[in-house]
Amino acid sequence: MYAAGQLELQSTTWMQRNTSDRPSFRAVVRRTFSKGQYQVFALPRGLLFLERRSITDSVGNGPSGAVVAGAVLGGAVGAMIGAAIASSASSSSERDENLDICDEETLIELARSRRKSFVAKLDEIISVSIDAPGSLGRMFADSSLAGWITLRDRCLGKVTLEIHEQPAMAVAVETLPRRLGERVQINVEFDQQKLRFVPRFTS
């Protein structure tokens, strides 16, 4: 299904010198007949969509994950979001992989071994829009939905990313414009009182 992007994973040169600047965020990627959990790495030359896997464990790591997420944002906003996530976290029998600590070779090998992983090269991305549900939209959306990203690519077509964490939205809002410039349309802003991203209305 992701043949065009998957082919790019066969060459390690595509991702050389990218590890020094590779912010990432989690997303649920939806396409016509599929849905999957991914870690999206925003590399200088493209977006790596690495399929996520769960690890069986007796103790969850939600609070520590919240601390890391808050650190990504920094400042008061990061602290508030981190605290909010930590206060609602609970132990679990499964935990997620910590892909952010992987080196370049490990990421490449993981991407090669996971059939659904794929890449979107920056020069093939046509446009990206970042949106958040409004008050009315939240009545019908998943309660955990922070927002979504719609990517249009010459090879992959339309790819929709659901974001279910506020810190992940913050990373996407900060990172994607740096990678793609004016091709990114940001339709959200952070509401300090609600501690979440909301639609941005322009006059």
Confidence of residue 203 (pLDDT cuts 50, 70, 90): low
Ranking 87-91, 104-108, 144-148, 181-185 by mean pLDDT, the lowest is 87-91
* Token pair listed for 79: 């602290």
**Considering only CA atoms, which of 155, 150, 159 is closest in space to residue 128?**
150
The DSSP code sequence of 22-91 is --EEEEEEEETTEEEEEEEEEETTEEEEEEP-EEE-SS--HHHHHHHHHHHH-HHHHHHHHHHHHHH---
Confidence of residue 154 (pLDDT cuts 50, 70, 90): very high
> What is the pTM assigned to this prediction?
0.69
Q: Residue 121's pLDDT is what? A: 93
Q: What is the DSSP letter of 136?
A: T
Give 49's strand partners: 40, 118
The CATH number, out of the four listed (2.30.29.30, 2.40.50.140, 1.20.1300.10, 3.30.1490.20), of the domain defined by the range 3-53+99-199? 2.30.29.30
Q: Where are the domains of the chain?
A: 3-53+99-199, 56-96
5-42 pLDDT, tens digit each: 554 444 344 344 434 467 899 999 987 677 899 999 98
89-140 pLDDT, tens digit each: 544 555 567 777 776 677 777 878 888 899 899 999 999 999 999 876 666 6
